[in-house]
Amino acid sequence: MKIVVAGAGAIGGFTGGMLAADGHEVALLGRPRILGPIREQGLTLTDYAGLSMKVPAEALRLETDPACLAAADLVIVAVKTAATAEIAAAIAAHAPADARVLSFQNGIQSARTLRAALPGWDVRACMVPFNVVCPEPGHFHRATSGDIVVEAGPGALAEALSTPAMKVLESDRIAEVQWGKLLINLTNALNALSGLPLQKMLLDRRWRRLMADQMTEAMAALKAAGIAFRPQTPLPPALIPHLLRLPTPLFRRIAAQMLTIDPEARTSMAYDIEAGRPTEIDALQGEILRLGAQTGVATPLTARIAARLARAEAAGGGSPRIDPRELREGG
């Protein structure tokens, strides 16, 4: 397939590179500061499990002009949620109407925004479970595990996009999968506020209890709204908060798979706050706060986390590296 990855950041760079290495004709549409190092030295792909490959620049089309969308059979949208409307307009202006569009973005709203802007197009929601970091320009490192899930539809897309090191599945219940991922992604804000590597944060019971209590609020709001959710975890959703609240030695033994991540990995929101970029807090905690308001379910901890993250984002200067007690005490 001729694939255009719209948004050559962490997720777009890694998945686009993997698809190019598997023989697809891939164009990365992004900013010059991201594409420049790739043009000079190629694309380096690594992961927590030992993956190591190099994709030469000649194996990719590196584009800054959205006119490149005209050649797409498939568009993978990997921009931040706030840029979805802008990229949707570019797709409408340049891409063929029979091109399929996949949203590799966080949250629930992005695919809805794409569908509203592209009526009649084959637009599909997706869920990308893994975290990708950029140790240096042109180097994309997958720091956690999981398989991409694509909304079911015609064309056997999951089979076409699967590679030996990046499995893609299809689901006819993609909304449940997305809400399940959103529940897990509520941790992103805590990680950004803590300033800790994710693994270290998971081994601190105080932070895990905040994760559990926030997830409990969110699940109550989802149930009140009649929304089903399906986290991609071995445990039933109702048991996850109980697991997080366990003493650390017991948690470490039972949740070994959760800790199979790079010791220095952080969430995407943690990297955004350190770089002074806008975060996706509205697409994550914001969704739960809106549901809570609609259903009358109290979400005070989620509100405190969202407010504290917003303050940190406005102040700049990176993570505030707060003590978890600050969120317990309403700071």
State the CATH number of the domain containing residue 242.
1.10.1040.10
Q: Tokens 């490192």 appear where? A: 141
3-state SS assignment for residue 296: coil
| pLDDT of 307 above 50 | yes
Q: What is the pLDDT of residue 331?
A: 45
Determine the average pLDDT of the residues in 24-39: 96
- How many CB atoms within 10 Å of residue 176? 16
Find out whether 59 and 41 touch, Cβ atoms under 8 Å: no
Specify the pLDDT at position 68.
Answer: 97
Domain boundary among 172, 193, 228: 172
Residues 51 and 196 in one domain: no
Q: Between 50 and 259, where is the model more confident?
A: 50
Choose among 93, 97, 106: nearest CA to 7: 106
This prediction has a pTM of 0.92
Q: Cβ neighbours of residue 49 under 8 Å, at least 6 residues apart? A: 145
Residue 150 and residue 11 share a domain: yes
One domain for residues 219 and 145:
no
Distances from the Cα of 105 to the Cαs of 35, 89, 114, in angstroms? 20, 17, 11
For residue 330, pLDDT over 70 is answered with: no
pLDDT digit string, tens, across residues 165-219: 999 999 999 999 999 999 999 999 999 999 999 999 999 999 999 999 999 999 9
pLDDT per position as a tens digit, 105-147: 999 999 999 999 999 999 999 999 999 999 999 999 999 889 9
Residue with tokens 């409990």: 216
What's the chain's average pLDDT? 94
For strands 43-47 and 52-55, give the pairing: antiparallel
Residue 265: pLDDT over 60 = yes
Amino acid of residue 266: R
Residue type, 175: A
Q: Supply the range of the domain harboring residue 15.
A: 2-172
**Same domain (yes/no): 203, 61:** no
Give the three-state DSSP class for 151. strand
User: What is the per-residue pLDDT across 81-96, written as a single tens digit (0 to 9) for each?
Assistant: 999 999 999 999 999 9
> What amino acid is encoded at 275 in this protein?
A
Whether the per-residue pLDDT at 97 is higher than 60: the answer is yes
Under DSSP, the state recorded for 289 is: H
Residue 133: beta bridge partners?
141
Same domain, 202 and 149: no
Phi, psi values for residue 133, rounded to 5° = -120, 165
**C-alpha atoms less than 13 angstroms from C-alpha of 326 in its C-beta half-sphere:** 12
- Encode 250-280 in three state secondary structure: HHHHHCHHHHCCCCCCCCHHHHHHHHCCCCC
Verify that 266 and 284 share a domain, yes or no: yes
Domain finish residue from 172, 201, 219: 172
Query: Angle at Cα 16 formed by Cα 34 and Cα 63, nearest 5°?
Result: 50
- Same domain? For 168 and 129 the reply is yes
142 and 70 fall within a common domain: yes
Pair (107, 209) in one structural domain: no
Region 15-33: mean pLDDT is: 97
165 and 185 together in one domain: no
- Write out the two tokens for 197: 């590597």
Question: Residue 2, exposed/middle/buried by CB under 10 A (0-12, 13-18, 19+)?
Answer: middle
pLDDT at 259: 67
What count of residues does the chain have? 331
Q: Is 243 exposed, middle or buried (0-12, 13-18, 19+ CB in 10 A)?
A: middle
Asked whether residue 243 falls in the same domain as residue 323, the answer is yes
* Residue 328's pLDDT band (cuts 50, 70, 90): confident
Compute the distance between CA of residue 110 and CA of residue 69 in angstroms, rounded to an integer.
19
Residue 73, both tokens: 């059979």
Considering only residues 100 and 260, tell me which one the structure prediction assigns the higher pLDDT.
Answer: 100
User: In whole angstroms, what is the distance from residue 128 CA to residue 204 CA?
Assistant: 26
Residue 69 has pLDDT above 70, yes or no: yes
Query: What's the total number of domains in the chain?
Result: 2
